[in-house]
Amino acid sequence: MAKVLCVLYPDPVDGHPKTYARDSLPALTGYPGGQTLPTPSAIDFTPGELLGSVSGELGLRAYLEGLGHELVVLSDKDGTEFERHLVDAEIVISQPFWPAYLTAERLAAAPNLKLALTAGIGSDHVDLDAAITHGVTVAEVTFCNSISVAEHVVMSILALVRNYLPAHQIVRDGGWNIADAVARSYDLEGMEVGTIAAGRIGLAVLRRLAPFGVRLHYTDRHRLPASVEAELGLTFHESTQAMVPNLDVVTINAPLHPETQELFGDDLLATMRRGAYLINTARGLIVDRDAIVRALESGQLAGYAGDVWYPQPAPADHPWRTMPHHGMTPHISGSSLSAQARYAAGTREILESYFGKTPIRDEYLIVDGGHLAGVGAHSYSVTT
C-alpha cells in the first residue's frame, strides 16, 4: 500500500459548488504541435467540475482506494500537517499555484518518497538538485494548461494597455468619469511586444497576439524554426538584456531556475522603455519584488500584471496588492475549470504508469533516474 499525499487549495468560501455556470466543456482533440491529451484508462469525475480544491481531490479517491492505497488530501501546504504526513509518503501531489514546497530539508526527511507529481506545469517548488540526490522522480502534466496561461497573458496585456480595470471600477463605484478612464488608455496595435522564452506558452502567446497588428519579438535558449519566425514575423534576440530595451510590452514565460531568478531587478528594469508594461505569469521569483514596486511608483513601468507571487499564497501585506497600476490575480492563469479537467486526467495517467510499472511519458518527466529528463532536460538547469 502506498501513501499518496495530495496538497490542494481550499474549497470556495461558500463550499464546493453544487452547480456550475456551464454544463459542459468543448471537446479538444489534441494540443498544438501534435502532443496527445492525457490518456488515463478512466476518470472518476465530470469535466468542468472544480477538481483542484480539497473536496475535488483531483477525482482520485475512488481510483487510489480501489487499488488499496491511502490518499491524504490537505490544504495545509506549509504547516505541521504536511510535514507530519510527508515522512512516510511515497507520492506527493501538489499544484504550482498552491505548491507544497519540497525543499532539500523536507526531501531528506522523507525516506519513502519516490514521486513528486505536479498537477499542472512548473516544478520549481521541488528542489530538483535534492530530488536528483535522493532518487525522487519529478513529473508534471506538460501542456495541460499552457493555452490557459497564454490566454491569461493576452487578457492581462489588454487590461493594462487599455486601462480596463480602473475603468471598470469607475462603473462599479457609480461614476462616469470618461477622462479619468482614458487618461492611461492606449491601443495595443503597432506596439513592440516580446516574450522571454518561446516554449509552449510563449509561442502560444505570440500566435494569439499576431492578429493585433503588433511587432513580435522573442528570446529563448532554443531558437524557433525559421519557418515559424517567418510565419509570425518574429525578431529573435540573443538575450533578455538585448531584447527588452526595444519593447513596449514584455511577457515572461520562462521557468524559474538559477539563470532566471530575480532576472528583472532595478538594473534591467532601468533599460526598458519608460512606460513599458511587464506581464509575469511564470514565477514570482523571476522578478525582484521591491524593484517592481519602485518601477511602478516612478513611472518607469506603466503597468505590471500576472498571477505569480512569492511566497504563495501571498501574505496580506504583500506590497504588490497595493502598488499602483497593477493587474495582479491570485495564481489562477493555469487553473481554469477547463485546465483542471486536463491536469486531473494527466495526474491519473502518471499514477497509472507509476503503479503499473510502465514508463511515464517522456514529455511529463522533469527528473528521473538521478538526472534531468524529458521536458526537464529541455527547460531546467541544476547545479549538480
Which residues are catalytically annotated?
A: 145, 283, 312, 331
User: Helices marked H in the chain — which ranges?
Assistant: 61-66, 80-86, 104-108, 128-134, 146-161, 164-172, 178-182, 200-209, 226-232, 240-243, 266-271, 289-298, 337-355, 374-379
Cβ contact 191:221 at 8 Å: no
| Three-state DSSP state, 161 | helix
Write the CB contacts of 83 (distance below 8 Å, at least 6 apart in sequence): 106, 109
Q: Listing from the earlier edge strand, what are the strands of the sheet with 91-94?
A: 70-74, 3-7, 91-94, 115-118, 137-140, 365-368, 371-372
d(Cα 246, Cα 193) in Å, to the nearest integer?
9
- What is the C-alpha to C-alpha distance for residues 91 and 113, in angstroms, rounded to an integer? 6
Write down how long the chain is.
Answer: 384
Cell match 488530501: residue? Answer: 73
